[in-house]
A = this chain, B = another copy of it.
Amino acid sequence: MMQELVQTAAPSPQDEPAFDAWVRTHVARIQALIEHHVPAHSVASSALAEAMHYAAALGGKRIRPLLVWAAGECFDGEPAALDAAACAVELVHAYSLVHDDLPCMDNDILRRGLPTVHVQFGQAMALLAGDALQSRAFEVLTSDPLVPPLIQARLCALLAGAIGADGMAGGQAIDLAATGQVLGTNALTNMHRRKTGALFKASLLMGLACANPDVLIDPVTAQCEQLLRRYADAIGLAFQVVDDVLDASSDSATLGKTAGKDAQQGKATFVTLLGLERAWALARELLSEALSAIEALPPVQRARAGHLITLAQRIVSRNH
């Protein structure tokens, strides 16, 4: 079924190498940004700097930065602002993984094929590394004089709003509170919209917010923002549905993290609730929804949305 999906949704073959080259270029770019903003050394504490670097610099799919840049291309974003936003969302993602993996949370020992941060550096240092990665994200958003303060402030607002009590952390808290009870599909969807979806959406809206405020006139901006939110909601949830499918059907070596854990812990997943087949059908529906939002963009933006389209397809067709 996964193969079928890839065939249905894949871009025309001549786009593939161009997209892959774009991904390689931008994965290298995020790596360089992280090495710059989160070096493995520091005047204060080298142990903390090493833990932060380990958490942020060693791998990851870099989907959130790619979403920032893809949205930025679509809306002609300022390059310096896009770099800051891309780096910030990845640092927040890294912080959230470090804290999620702690013994008091998911107690995970494997991430991206490596020991988790607390296994490598101890729990206290992992706690601090996560804390400091969060603040580093806001530092990155506000430290480049090439980024106009108006955009800096908007980026901070979007990121902060997405990752706190009503967003990412709120989703985690719902997950915690659900321990020992099985969530229904609506409750599971609500949890994931916050836990994963909020940062996906922020990445895309931050890409839009990097547009020179003079370039987009207001009615167009409002329309684009609404469509981008539709796209974001769809791919954010699709990402999680696919995660659950992969978790149920793949192994730890392929995933780079412990496979099958949610199901073992008796937690609801889209697969336990819907079964593998209907979960895949949901992922396909969500992909269609994301692509239809892109189709509805004004012609100028639609013409520049190629990477948003392929990213949506890849999010659904990935195998790890």
A contact residues vs B (CB 8 Å cutoff): 42-45, 47-49, 52, 95, 99, 102, 104-105, 122-125, 127-128, 130-132, 134-139, 141-143, 149-150, 152-154, 156-157, 159-161, 163-167, 169-174, 176-177, 194
Pairs A-B, 8 closest by C-beta atoms:
A44-B170, A45-B173, A48-B173, A142-B157, A135-B164, A104-B123, A138-B160, A132-B169
**Cα–Cα distance between A42 and B174 once the two chains are bound (Å):** 11
Copies in the complex: 2
A215 to chain B, nearest CB (A): 17
A–B complex contacts, Cβ < 8 Å, 17 sampled: A44-B166, A44-B171, A45-B165, A45-B177, A48-B170, A104-B124, A124-B176, A128-B173, A131-B134, A132-B169, A132-B170, A138-B156, A139-B164, A141-B156, A149-B150, A149-B152, A152-B157
Q: Closest residue of chain B to A140, judged by CB?
A: B160
A128-B172, A136-B165, A149-B149 known; 15 other A-B pairs, CB under 8 Å? Answer: A44-B166, A44-B167, A44-B171, A44-B174, A48-B169, A104-B127, A132-B165, A134-B134, A136-B164, A138-B160, A139-B164, A142-B157, A149-B152, A149-B154, A153-B156
A295 to chain B, nearest CB (A): 32
Q: Closest residue of chain B to A95, judged by CB?
A: B131
- The main secondary structure of chain A at its interface with chain B is helix
Question: Which of A48, A105, A194 has the most chain B CB within a 10 Å cutoff?
Answer: A48
A244 to chain B, nearest CB (A): 21
Residues of B with C-beta under 8 A to A42: 165-166, 170
